[in-house]
Chain A
Amino acid sequence: MKFLLRRLGFYVLAAWVSLTLNFFIPRLAPGDPASALQATFQGKLDPAALEAMKSAFGLTDEPLYRQYFKYLGNLFQGDLGISIAHFPAPVTEVISEALLWTLLLAGVSVVISFSVGTILGILSAWRRGGWLDSIAPASFIFLGAFPYFWLAMLLLFVLGFLGGWFPLRHAYSDTLSPALTLEFLLDAIHHAFLPALSIVIASLGGWLLSMRNTMIGVISEDYVTMAQAKGLSSRRVMLNYAARNALLPNITGFGMALGFVLSGSLLTEIVFSYPGQGYLLFEAVKSMDYPLMQGLFLAITVAVLAANWFVDIAYVFLDPRTRR
């Protein structure tokens, strides 16, 4: 418990550091939103209106440190400013919509990919050289080796366009509006299926192979041999003795992957025209939408740190050696 609190303290510190960097880095980059704004209106804006807009966006000529404290203050009130590209929508609103879809698509795909990959890895290693072990790792590595966008487009073309079994774009049908109804949920799942499938196919091989390889190392440990000598059921030896230990390093990888879910899967979202975080970030960078960029980075940072803390918690449960 003490261990977890100490880790939490560390993550709070890390969050503050990244918030600070998050504030300063864009301001050190060449170009600024005010001139970008001016350029958008090509000088057709009268100076008073420009000033008004600048102050609405929080663009002032105040010294950086004062801006910085104001930024921190606003942050704690959940105010991330107003998006420039999506004016006048507040950043929180823009992000939260994309966040939902990203969580649904990338989150679910990562969980599926990790679980299925890990289970296949366990079984492949357990019957090393068996039929599963000869087929699964090789074929998933083969699939994963394709350029991702090509694989995604192939899926979209064959299953979506030629087959017509899946919709070609967006997160839900234009005829529906978001609501918690069965019809809408099924529709959203139908839309997410192809992009999710593409992510799972592309990433499953990595999980499978890393689990298989750690598992093979663990199988040659004395405690696994001893478990076999004890005459325990093959299932118990495989799960409680071998897989339980082999899983530990993979949990770290899983936490990292979960953390990066929020940064979205840019290529997936572009190929399937899916309204997620990655696409949003891409747009924000293109339009120099500082508030939105900062908001997105903040969300990603918090997600990565939260995922790390989640891994710490998981480790405390899975590995008694980390308990104090």
Chain B
Amino acid sequence: MTQEPLLSVKNLTVEYVTPRGNVRAVDNVSFEIGRGEVFGLAGESGSGKSTAAMAAMRLLQPPAIITGGEVLFEGQDILAMTDEELRFFRWKKIALVFQSAMNALNPVLTVGEQIADVLRTHEGMAPAPALERASELLQLVGIEPSRLKSFPHQLSGGMRQRVVIAIALALKPPLLFMDEPTTALDVVVQKEILQQIAELKDQLGFSILFITHDLSLMLEFCDKVGILYAGRLAEIAPAKQLFGDPQHPYTRGLMHSFPELHGSRHRMEGIPGSPPDMRQPPKGCRFHPRCKEAGPECELHLPRLVELGANHYGACVKVTPSQIPKNPQQKEYRS
């Protein structure tokens, strides 16, 4: 396991420049994605999960700017690439599946053209062979090749999302960023598409950065999960570990906010309050104003991520490695 990670994000910081001063949307976020691994990034709306992913591909539009950190892909810093290097790097090494397939496809170009232009740009293919490959790619995601000549508006939401995935796979990239790839779809189609992604992953062996606010999806789909709150990582752990034994009060709050289909019935609690105004984040731990377990010490310092167990990190002053109870039933957090 000493193998170099595929993608390693180190202390990534993104700020939005506003007339009233800079707003930190992503604050010192670090994580690693290994080969063949699915890393999930979860958090509420506005927690910075999409911003972090877009920053890693250098796709942020002003006023968002990257103010610090490194994004190493196979040891090469994406943030230090020249524009030309970046252009050939993009899609070849990391492809992106957008949040809403409705808007991710150009309405005035056919599906075929939108797949083919990647092949033509990166592989220098001639128009005819590029279309040939495009039809193979459509078949790969379960769409009839006759749809090559269709325009996006002629396809259903699920088909559009498949097309977007086909475009993402065009160059067989080792890493895919998926930003809520199924949020806009109904549950049945959602399931089908995720199944397909999982199959394709086994077949092609790519890694995934999976962004969602849906924790149940995460558990099903991801190997490792990072929980973002107000631009900072609250907790990061292997998926099973995180869901079986969440340490950060915020993670626990999130878990109580979703109904369980199986298992015993219990009250959904939710988390009181709303995410902080990022222009004036609270002092100390960003979560303390909403935290049931907060004490006076929480207002003093921003908690750092500390190792709590094997590959399990949390950023809460209340939780230290020594305090991790062996049995989650007997958790005791009074100091």
Contacts and interface: CB of A to CB of B under 8 A. Distances in A.
B241 interface: no
B301 interface: no
Tell me the interface secondary structure of chain A in the complex. Answer: helix
Interface stretch (A6-14, A56-64, A140-148, A314-322): A314-322
Interface stretch (B65-73, B86-94, B256-264): B86-94
A223 B117 contact: no
A240 B88 contact: no
Contacts of A321: 107, 151, 153
Nearest to B90: A231
A223 B151 contact: no
A288 B290 CA distance: 81
A54 interface: no
B121 A232 contact: yes
B103 interface: yes
A320 B103 contact: no
B98 A220 contact: no
Nearest to A129: B62
Interface string A214-242: 00000111110111111111001000110
Nearest to A240: B109
A227 B106 contact: yes
Interface string B108-138: 1110000001100110000000000000000
A190 interface: no
A231 B107 contact: no
Given A232-B117, A319-B108, A222 B90 contact: no
A236 B117 contact: yes
A229 B61 contact: no
Interface string A196-207: 000000000000
A245 interface: yes
Given A220-B61, A320-B151, A230 B118 contact: yes
Interface centre among B88, B99, B117, B118 (most CB of A within 10 A): B117
B95 interface: yes
Interface residues of A, number: 23
A294 B143 CA distance: 59
Contacts of A227: 106
A244 interface: yes
A220 B64 CA distance: 13
Contacts of B86: 231
Contact of A226 (B92, B96, B122): B96
Given A222-B100, A236-B121, A320-B151, A229 B106 contact: no
Nearest to A247: B108
A229 B89 contact: no
Contacts of A319: 107-108
A231 B103 contact: no
Given A231-B90, A231-B91, A232-B118, A225 B59 contact: yes
A240 B106 contact: yes
B107 A229 contact: no
Contacts of A320: 107-108, 110, 151, 153
A46 B90 CA distance: 90
Contacts of B90: 228-231
A230 B151 contact: no
Given A236-B117, A321-B151, A321-B153, A229 B105 contact: no
Interface centre among A225, A227, A228, A231 (most CB of B within 10 A): A231
Given A230-B117, A230-B167, A245 B107 contact: yes
B121 A229 contact: no
Nearest to A245: B108
B200 interface: no
Nearest to B61: A220
B104 interface: yes
Interface in A73-120: none
Given A223-B106, A229-B59, A232-B118, 15 more contacts: A222-B99, A222-B104, A223-B104, A226-B98, A226-B105, A226-B164, A228-B59, A228-B90, A230-B91, A230-B117, A230-B121, A230-B167, A231-B88, A240-B106, A320-B110
Q: Can you list the 10 inter-chain pairs with the closest CB atoms, starting with the nearest? A: A231-B90, A222-B103, A320-B151, A223-B106, A229-B96, A231-B91, A222-B104, A231-B87, A230-B91, A226-B104
25 contacts: A221-B103, A222-B99, A223-B104, A223-B105, A223-B106, A225-B59, A225-B61, A226-B98, A226-B164, A228-B90, A229-B59, A229-B90, A229-B91, A230-B91, A230-B117, A232-B121, A236-B117, A236-B121, A240-B106, A245-B106, A320-B110, A320-B153, A321-B107, A321-B151, A321-B153
Interface of A: 219-223, 225-233, 236, 240-241, 244-245, 318-321
